[in-house]
A and B are shown apart, each in its own frame.
Chain A
Amino acid sequence: MLRGVWPVIRREYVQRVHSKWFVLATLGGPIFLVATLAVPLWFGGGGGGDGLRGLAIVDGTDVLYERVAPALAAGGFRVEEVRWTSTVVDTLRRRADAGDIAAFLLLDQFTLESGDAVLYTRTPPSPLQAATLRSAVVRAALEIQLEQRGVDVEAMLAEAGLDVQLLAGAPVPPDEVRFMVAYIGAFLLYVVILLYAVSVMRATLEEKTSRIVEIVISAMKPWHLMLGKILGVGAVGLTQMSVWVLTTTLIIYSGLPAMLAPGGAGRGAPGGAGAAESAGSGAAGVGTSEAMGLEALLPGPDLLALFLGFFVFGYFIYSGLYAAVGAMCSTDDEAQQAQLPLIMFLVVPIIFVAHVIENPSAPLSVGLSLFPLFTPILMWARVAGGGVPAWEITLSFGLMLLAILGVAWLAGRIYKAGILMTGKRPSLGELWRWVREA
């Protein structure tokens, strides 16, 4: 039945893999990715962020400092304990004005109860620094509270699956590493799905405008041509991502970024200590407590498989739609316009992605992430952020499968009618007629 599809797949694949663009992007991608991760670390050591290195901590509880200080020291802060007095804020403010210290952190009884602390600083902390501070404080507060209730925190933390958020009552945001993995992953999914789906659209448009399509169509069903293109471009995408994942892993494990970072490999990233530790307890990380830094950002095999799954399913949904757009347009400009509604479906999840990661179980998050056009990005965000029941993941893939079948049906018909059409782009009414009559 699929006679003729294979040559199309092969042609699409070989042509693309042989192109200069592919070689450049495939080899350059990991370097770029590592650079974007490593450079902030590097500059994090100097420049504006350095102002926070000299950090005075005022501990009104007498129990928090001993726990917070080591975590912060591991995160690259230079900490100093200051005794609580009634004028301590004024004193420290003067010291900060004088440049003696960069910032000071107030911990009190309320911190112990709620995890809230106050940071006074002249320069705003970087997101990583803020997260490191927050997680060190919250963690210390939680540990103390739990120990007061007779819980062996160390033992419990060693076991995967302890949901600290539920015990705390108020939702504690996912830790920094998970957030990063979920967030970066969501963006990557957005980029690669869009990139390859648009490739399918361009290829379709090019075949149409160069008029080769009539020759090809005379030898095979339009639907087979469309399928071949989608599979061929998809295979290119998987190849490219495999290379990316492999080389990125190699680069990170070779210790190159750490060597590049000031202070050498031993120093690690700000927040790296807490990050690596907690990552070890969830699905998110393969990091060990020794390997502090970028390693913690590498997703584990399960998550990687899910990532590829979301890519493949998302790609099938969107590439079909983009193929239809390519088939119904006659010029690049037309196609640029016609694809706008599709881009909206990819952008909406990106708008919600941070919200969804932080509130994975909120009804809005669940609902949006189960809508098949949003699923690849938003369900990924929830899964990578942690705490999605397996049945929901299964359901989301089932719904995406239905969407793929629906898209194949719809896009196949539009493609068939549009691919030989020239002239004006069809109106919605005409499109519907194509679908009905095909």
Chain B
Amino acid sequence: MSSLPGTTDAYAVRLRGVTKRFGTHNAVSDFDFEVPRGSIYGLLGPNGSGKTTTIRMIMGILHPDAGSVSLFGSDPDATRRSRVGYLPEERGVYRKMKVLDLLVFLAEIRGIPRREGRLRATAWLERLELGAWAQRRVEDLSKGMQQKVQFVGTVVHEPELLILDEPFSGLDPLNQDELESIVRELNRTGTTILFSTHLMDQAERLCRRVCLISKSRKVLDADLKELKARERTGVVAVEFAGPDGWLRAPEIRHVERVEGALHLVLSDPGAHQAVLRRALAAGAEILRFELVEPRLHEIFVRHVGAGPGAGVGAVVGAAPAIPDRGGPPQGGDSPDRLGSLR
């Protein structure tokens, strides 16, 4: 899957100066965008910022008024588009069709022979524990199951590029986890993933790179780790025992208690070493000392202004509201740890 015949272009998707207008409204303005092969790319932005329009242009459903769109190094023609698995934001099914027939049809219109499509679809349904439903009509399935079927329909032809527009919305957490892990696995085996979302938690869990758009324009486009490092605001989470007088050090502007830990807001983002030295000198036993990385949500809000979570994180910087920490950070994605005592 990772070796792509006849395609040497390093980018699965490349947009150059793309502009799309609807009447007088600019949906996308002068947009440059590249999705390297093999990446998991998040296209983030508030509702109405132009994510779906961008994706539709990549899929050749809409045509840009200016600029160029290339898919696998060329125009998004039908042949190239059939190498893409596309899950639109508003996605439907043929409700009266049997589940397996629907999947075979979706594979067939992307050039997969029926017999092959049947095998693959069956395997996918087994994997998602929908095997017993293969011969049932789609309308007999619950909404969650239908969404899983839609997902299978997106990947059944083994696309090189997966474009997911607001995926997993409306799925329960268990199914969401299941599909996320499949997306990760597909990525490991070479599939490029581009997905749009306004759910920052999800983007944080999945993406390696993000592009943030707001009001039709690109605001940020960076590697997620680098972005987070760059956007650190100088907040340190500490847990300690012993004296606490050092908390009144001049480098610490503000202290607040967050879930059993203290969050120290530093006057200067680079002052954490000085603070640590003061604490040790004061004789405190440091159990945890961690630079709190800004959550994507905060970065989003900082750059977009009152974004989708308007009100929640509006005062980032002064007092980093750390919204629900969600689940524990996944895998190795946890913030840089300084270790309890280095």
Residue numbers of A with Cβ under 8 A of B are 3-4, 7-8, 11, 14-15, 19, 207, 209-221, 420
Expressed in whole angstroms, the Cα–Cα distance for A216 and B87 within the complex equals 11
Give residues 52-103 of B contacting A (CB, 8 Å): 56, 59-61, 78, 81-82, 84, 86-88, 90-97, 101
Would A218 and B92 count as touching, CB distance under 8 A?
Answer: no
11 extra interchain contacts, Cβ-Cβ under 8 A, other than A211-B88, A212-B91?
Answer: A7-B109, A209-B92, A210-B93, A210-B94, A212-B92, A215-B88, A215-B92, A215-B154, A218-B61, A219-B110, A220-B109
CB neighbors of A among B309-338 (8 A): none
**CA separation between A15 and B96, bound complex, in Å?**
8
Q: CB-CB < 8 A to B105: which residues of A? A: 7, 11
Q: Which residues of B contact A (CB under 8 A)?
A: 56, 59-61, 78, 81-82, 84, 86-88, 90-97, 101, 105-106, 108-111, 153-154
B88 contacts across to A, CB distance below 8 A = 211, 214-215, 218
From B61, B86, B93, B96, give the contact of A420 (CB < 8 A): B61
Assess A215 versus B106: contact at CB under 8 Å? Given A3-B78, A220-B78, A221-B78.
yes
Who on chain B is nearest to A213 by CB? Answer: B92
Which chain A positions have C-beta within 8 A of B56?
420
Tell me the smallest distance from the CB of B162 to a CB of chain A, in Å: 12
Given contacts A4-B109, A214-B88, contact A219 B93 (CB under 8 A): no
Known pairs A218-B59, A218-B61, A219-B109; A210 contacts B92 (CB<8 A): yes
Q: In the assembled complex, which residues on chain A have CB atoms less than 8 Å from the CB atom of B86?
A: 214-215, 218
- SS class of chain B's interface: helix, strand, loop or mixed? loop
Within the complex, the shortest CB–CB distance from B109 to chain A, in Å, comes to: 4
Distance in angstroms between the alpha carbons of A4 and B94 in the assembled complex: 17
Residue from A3, A14, A207, A214 within 8 A of B61 (CB atoms)? A214
Cβ distance B80 to chain A, nearest Cβ, rounded Å: 11
List 24 contacting pairs A-B, 8 Å CB cutoff, sorted by A: A3-B78, A3-B111, A4-B109, A4-B111, A11-B94, A11-B105, A14-B101, A15-B94, A207-B92, A211-B88, A212-B92, A212-B93, A213-B92, A214-B92, A215-B91, A218-B60, A218-B61, A218-B86, A219-B78, A219-B81, A219-B110, A220-B78, A220-B109, A221-B78
Asked if residues A214 and B109 are in contact (CB atoms below 8 Å), the reply is no
Q: Are A218 and B90 in contact (CB under 8 A)?
A: no
What A residues does B106 contact at CB under 8 A? 215, 219
Q: Select from chain B the residue with minimum beta-carbon distance to A5.
A: B109
Task: Please give me the residue from chain A that is nearest to B114 by CB atom.
Answer: A7
- Which residues from A are CB-within-8-Å of B108? 7
> Sorted from nearest, which 10 A-B pairs have the closest CB atoms?
A211-B92, A210-B92, A212-B92, A7-B108, A214-B88, A211-B90, A219-B109, A218-B86, A218-B59, A4-B109
Q: A214 to chain B: which residues have CB within 8 Å?
A: 61, 86, 88, 90-92
Contacts of B81 in A (CB 8 A): 218-219
CB atoms of B61 and A217 under 8 A apart: yes
Complex: how many Å from CA A220 to CA B111?
A: 10
Chain B residue nearest to A212 (CB atoms) is B92
CA distance A386 to B93 in the complex (A): 50
Asked if A212 contacts B94 (CB within 8 A), the reply is yes
The residue on B at minimum CB distance from A211 is B92
List residues of chain B with CB within 8 A of the CB of A11.
Answer: 94, 97, 101, 105
Cα separation A217 to B81 with both chains bound (whole Å): 10
| Chain B residue, CB-CB nearest to A217 | B61
The smallest C-beta distance from B116 to any residue of chain A, in angstroms, reads 13
Q: How far is the CB of A19 from chain B (nearest CB, A)?
A: 8
For the complex formed, measure the closest distance between the CB of B312 and the CB atoms of chain A, giving whole angstroms. 31
Nearest neighbor of B77 in chain A, beta-carbon distance: A221
A318 to B97 Cα, complex, angstroms: 27
Measured in the bound complex, the distance between the Cα atoms of B95 and A214 in whole Å is 15
- The chain A residue sitting closest to B106, CB to CB, is A215
> In the docked arrangement, what's the CA distance between A362 and B247, Å?
106
The docked-state distance in angstroms from the alpha carbon of A368 to that of B296 is: 69
Contacts A15-B96, A420-B61 known; A211 to B91 CB distance under 8 Å? Answer: yes
Q: In the complex, which residues of chain A have a beta carbon less than 8 angstroms from the beta carbon of B60?
A: 218
Query: Which residue from B87, B109, B153 sits with its C-beta under 8 Å from A8?
Result: B109
In the complex, the chain B residue whose C-beta lies closest to that of A16 is: B96
Q: Are B91 and A4 in contact (CB under 8 A)?
A: no
> In the complex, A210 Cα to B84 Cα: how many Å?
21
Q: A219 vs B82: C-alpha distance in the bound complex, in angstroms?
A: 5
